[in-house]
Chains A and B, each alone.
Chain A
Amino acid sequence: MTTLTAPPATATTRPPTRKRRRRSGANAWLTVLLILASVFTVLPFIAVFVLAITPEGAQTIPQKMPDEVTLDNLSAVLSASSFLRWTLNSFVFSIVSVVIILLAAAMAGYAFARKRFPGSNALMWSFLATLMVPAQATLIPMFVLVSRMEGVNTFWGLIVPTLANSQSVFLMRQFIKDLPDDLFDAAKIDGAGEWTVFWRLVLPLTKPVLATLGIFVFLWHWNDFLWPLVIAQTDDMRTLTVGLSTLNAETVTRARIMASAAISVVPCLIIFGVLQRYLVNSIATTGLKG
């Protein structure tokens, strides 16, 4: 499920021929269609930001563009204590998960790729088999388990159950398996201990895949909803997604809701802006699903 054949980008540059020129008409149409499709994907974002800076009660899109803009909605959202708390919770939830998953998945991936131990194959397969079980199917027993361990409304109850992630283990295993054997032999001959090999060899060599995985794990957690919804029941434990879902037109103005949504999407947009090419390539080569 997580492996697709990597596409070797065949960049064959050919001189422009008559055939090419004849196709430029078709290409203009392609461009027009792509612009329309891009409007479909981007317009909602623009609309959110426009609504977020429209003064409350003022006329705005879709009737017309607002006459004046204001930062009041945004600053009101940012000074509301709940919103900051939700943002902080989302950061803790996402970043702690990224750090632990990367470390534990690198360790497990290293073990599965380079070590033999009794039952290693069966264990690998049983890890993979959990991909077949949707998270929603185990939601109830998971909640019962965590609540019996007194984990409701705690950070560990929010974070720890989401750390058992088979996609990341499998990805690390594939990557570490493909590293050259000689490196590990050389380290062994130099008398490096097991931890030295892991910290000084495995982790530095897997940096690219760790970075990719880190972005995905961050997005998975930042955007996660169902688990935080059931486990974070008090307002000060809510993550951004759960907090946003509690805002509705009866209690908050639309301008406020849109301002909250606009702010909550900023970290994802930054990640996207900086790492877009990276993210896009890694989906094509690894099939990682967000």
Chain B
Amino acid sequence: MTLQRTAPPRPTWRQRVRDPGWGVIFVLPMLVLFVIFRFVPSLGAVGMSFTDYRLSGDFEFIGAENYRRLIEDDLFFDSLRVTLMYALMYVPLTLVVSLGTATMLHHVIRGRGLFRGLLFLPYVTSFVMAGIIWIWIYDTDGLINGALERVGLGPVPFITGNQAMVLGSLAVVSVWKSFGYSMLILLAGLKNIPEDVMEAATLDGAGAGAKFRRITLPLLKPVLFFVVVIETIVAFQVFDTIYVMTGGGPARASYGLVYMLYDQGFKFFDFGYAATIGVMLFLVVLAISLVQRYVLDRENT
């Protein structure tokens, strides 16, 4: 269809450096932004974690002191535990809700577009907005407790009760706000499952449940895995809803990792220490991604 283009002789490396050309000019604005606001802060986080950087801008290198302090700090391990507990509630819940709704949307005959839109709706709002609405929904005279009161129950202390209750309630808010994304990813995955496989199974007399377990789930595995990894990383970064709804409380019941970072940085202005928490957050997220790579590679061989 097209003629074989003869490649021009590749310029030597020396020539290319001397005349970098238009490529560099076009990439320059983004490059400058990335260097100043991505690369420098990334290295800066590591650098600052070895200092006692304070609000005044004065600092001294204190070696691994921040890291020593961190592993002796009960607050840090508590915040890690809070974040982990939250993730263990949020990830399965969002997975079940988004897989359930995606499956229903995939099979429903009428009104798919409408339902898809309604279910996706909360995704366009902010976590701050979601937090403000759900404070009222969870309130003693709010939507849920008001309804419970009519049937003589409650009030349930959703965000003022014990730790499991508070973290679960926060997880529900995040699921409400953001499951639409995973739902759409899973819906796209479901559409990719070849119809003839399903039809063959139907002819063999497989019921709906068996088809879901034996065909849908295995074929959906890569997409499910993508969703689990993304949502786990999101769960470890939870901040907005905690800030708006509980302020880390009650009694530090929802004092998560990023909330601790914010608290140390902008309440106590202990920037060196807060930067160290940031490095730990990066390592946790990195570990999650590496586990993903490992599992995926093992699946493929």
Contact = CB atoms under 8 A, between A and B. Distances in A.
B133 A134 contact: no
Contact of B38 (A34, A164, A223): A164
A18 interface: no
A14 B274 CA distance: 61
B87 interface: no
Given A117-B27, A223-B126, A132 B285 contact: yes
Interface of B: 2, 13, 16-17, 20-27, 29-31, 33-34, 36-42, 44-45, 47-48, 53, 57, 100-101, 104-105, 107-111, 113, 115-129, 131-134, 136-137, 141-143, 146-147, 176, 180-181, 184-185, 187-189, 191-192, 195, 202, 208, 223, 226, 230, 233, 236-237, 239-240, 243-244, 258, 261-262, 265-266, 271, 274-275, 278-279, 281-282, 285-286, 289
Nearest to A161: B37
A123 B24 CA distance: 11
Interface of A: 1, 4-10, 12, 19, 26-27, 30-31, 33-34, 37-38, 40-45, 47-48, 51, 61-63, 103-105, 107-108, 110-112, 115-118, 120, 123, 126-127, 130, 132-134, 136-145, 148, 160-161, 163-164, 166, 169, 182, 194, 198, 219, 222-226, 229-230, 241-242, 244-245, 247, 254, 257-258, 261, 264-265, 268-269, 271-272, 276-277, 279-280, 283-285, 287, 289-290
Contact of B278 (A8, A136, A163, A289): A136
Contacts of A143: 265
A261 B129 contact: yes
Contact of B185 (A9, A144, A226, A284): A284
Contact of A163 (B33, B105, B176, B192): B33
Interface of B is mostly: helix
Contact of A30 (B33, B36, B104): B104
5 contacts: A10-B195, A160-B37, A163-B33, A225-B243, A261-B133
A217 to B, nearest CB: 13
B33 A261 contact: no
Pairs of residues from A and B, 5 with the lowest C-beta to C-beta distance, nearest first: A115-B23, A62-B146, A141-B44, A117-B23, A223-B126
Contacts of A38: 115, 118-119
Given A37-B101, A44-B133, A290-B123, A284 B22 contact: no
B17 A118 contact: yes
Contacts, number: 296
B26 A163 contact: no
Nearest to B115: A34
B111 A41 contact: no
Contacts of A261: 129, 132-133
A134 B141 CA distance: 38
Contacts of B132: 244, 247, 257-258, 261
Given A37-B104, A225-B127, A137 B282 contact: yes
A108 B101 contact: no
Nearest to A215: B124
Nearest to B123: A290
Given A10-B195, A268-B125, A276-B117, A138 B17 contact: no
Given A44-B137, A48-B133, A117-B27, 9 more contacts: A41-B176, A140-B261, A141-B45, A223-B125, A226-B239, A226-B258, A241-B240, A265-B129, A289-B181
A44 B44 CA distance: 42
A104 B120 contact: no
A79 B274 CA distance: 39
Nearest to A219: B124
B127 to A, nearest CB: 7
A108 B29 contact: yes
B124 A160 contact: no
A126 B35 CA distance: 10
Nearest to B15: A118
Nearest to A108: B30
**Candidate in A27, A115, A134, A244 with the most chain B CB atoms within 10 angstroms:** A134
